[in-house]
Amino acid sequence: MAKKRYAQVGVGDRSFMYSWALTERFCDHAELVGLCDNNLGRLRTRAEWIAGHGLEVPIYLDTEFDRMIAETKPDVVIVTSKDATHDRYICRAMELGCDVITEKPMTTDEHKCQRILDTQKRTGRQCTVTFNYRYSPPRTQLKDLLMSGVIGNVVSVDFHWVLDTRHGADYFRRWHRNKANSGGLLVHKATHHFDLVNWWLSDVPESVFALGARNFYRPETAERYGFTRRSERCLDCPEADKCPFHLDLRAYPRLAETYLKNEQYDGYFRDRCVFSGDIDIEDTMHLTVRYRSGATMSYSLHAFSPWEGYTVAITGTKGRIEHVAQETVYISGDGTVPGELKPEGTHIRIFPHFCSPYEVELWKAEGGHGGADPVMLGVLFDPTTPADKYLRAADQRSGAWSILTGIAGNRSLEWGRPVQIEELVHGLELPDYPPMPDPTEPIDPLPLKHSTATRRSG
């Protein structure tokens, strides 16, 4: 079978995983044929790394994207550029006859989302959105439990995600700090969380109300810490010795190589002050969401927590599941494995109505983002991967439904009222989701009396 041809656009930190997958793990099935970015330095660095594998891959600036497609003839374009630029490459790649694999968030606002949906329909090309969080074994296990009907039909979700003062703070140093680039954390980060809920429930959101603010990462906090001489970036900051948020790019070879060395090409600073007045994203967010099935969710996201991870409690007609996960401490691109689960801080407990609660043994998770990345790469690039009963591979429909919760949240913050998803886009179809328990099925009122199963108390 001929190898599939891939081009990549955006060669920053996240893209490396895909370059590695194409040149090493899946090189029997895949071929990397072109690289594109607006930063010539990062392009050269990546091309040199690939040359170390005996491969020559041509590089193109962002203005030369069409030429890259014409000259290298990829089957698939992998989009890992800055969020607000995704729509440009997703749409153009499909118009030029390519399929697309895009990183989350699919895009950052409702207008760009509509353009992607319309272009996909018009061209008939395949658009995959890489929701790696679905593939994390404990999160897949939660889907498995919900599909089994152990808590009946889901009626409500309490979902609370905390980002710590290391990884969470990092969003306030990088391009993510401005909504024009990232859509804010309700889109950039929470797209993962809203996709998980849509997929866990096999449901889609209908209306969203949000409250949010920037309470911590602002100039007033620096003043309260006593940082009177703070600079706009860490590299030359006179307060460096006192500041717990100081990031010295020179101390991390991979960060220095990817960003510091290449500032001359685009003027991008990876280490801007987390207390800067230029930041316009929230660090504290609360949402209330109603789903099409009638289920409701309360969701919160905080970006200055002492630990990182989440608690989710899902209540159903037969009981409740509580899942807690703690992640390791890291900053993006520091050379460590990002977002690994801490086994001692991760559990799933089931509380059936009228029976003893119990804890389930967790499915083993190893590798980046809760063990998700290695599994997802297999699904993306290995044609021999078996069919998936959880339907974890997502397309533009799931990409849209997940960002629309966050985009509706942003509009709700602006407009000061609940926002209906149908106000934002039209013609959006339902994703393919696995079947869930039938909500009309009778419920056993005396499960304990009729059960012979023995269970471990939690």
Ligand X SMILES: NC(=O)c1ccc[n+]([C@@H]2O[C@H](COP(=O)([O-])OP(=O)(O)OC[C@H]3O[C@@H](n4cnc5c(N)ncnc54)[C@H](O)[C@@H]3O)[C@@H](O)[C@H]2O)c1
Point out which residues bind ligand X (CB under 6 A). 9-15, 37-39, 42, 62, 80-83, 85, 103-104, 130, 132, 188, 332, 369
* Cβ nearer to ligand X, comparing 39 with 120: 39
**What distance separates the 2 farthest-apart alpha carbons in the chain?**
72
Residues, the chain: 458
* Cβ nearer to ligand X, comparing 187 with 360: 187
What are 146's two structure tokens? 């919900």
Reduced to 3 states, what is the DSSP secondary structure of residue 351?
strand
H helices of 281-367, in order, are none
* Cβ nearer to ligand X, comparing 190 with 360: 190
* Cβ nearer to ligand X, comparing 77 with 295: 77
* Shortest CB 81 distance to ligand X, Å: 4
81 phi/psi in degrees, rounded to 5: -85, 180
* Cβ nearer to ligand X, comparing 10 with 184: 10
* Cβ nearer to ligand X, comparing 94 with 154: 94
* Shortest CB 84 distance to ligand X, Å: 8
* Shortest CB 132 distance to ligand X, Å: 5
DSSP 8-state symbol, 439: T
By C-alpha distance, which of 444, 423, 397 is closest to 202? 397
* Shortest CB 77 distance to ligand X, Å: 12
* Shortest CB 65 distance to ligand X, Å: 8
By C-alpha distance, which of 64, 58, 90 is closest to 77? 90
Q: How far apart are CA 242 and CA 163, in angstroms?
A: 22
Q: How far apart are CA 48 and CA 52, in angstroms?
A: 6
By C-alpha distance, which of 28, 111, 39, 37 is closest to 269? 39
* Cβ nearer to ligand X, comparing 42 with 411: 42
Residue nearest to ligand X (CB): 12
* Shortest CB 294 distance to ligand X, Å: 30
Query: Which residues face 272 on adjacent strands?
Result: 233
* Shortest CB 412 distance to ligand X, Å: 22
Q: How far is CA 370 from the centre of its chain?
A: 12
* Cβ nearer to ligand X, comparing 369 with 392: 369
* Shortest CB 140 distance to ligand X, Å: 16
Q: How far apart are CA 121 and CA 429, in angstroms?
A: 11
Q: How far apart are CA 32 and CA 12, in angstroms?
A: 16
What are 340's two structure tokens? 């690994």
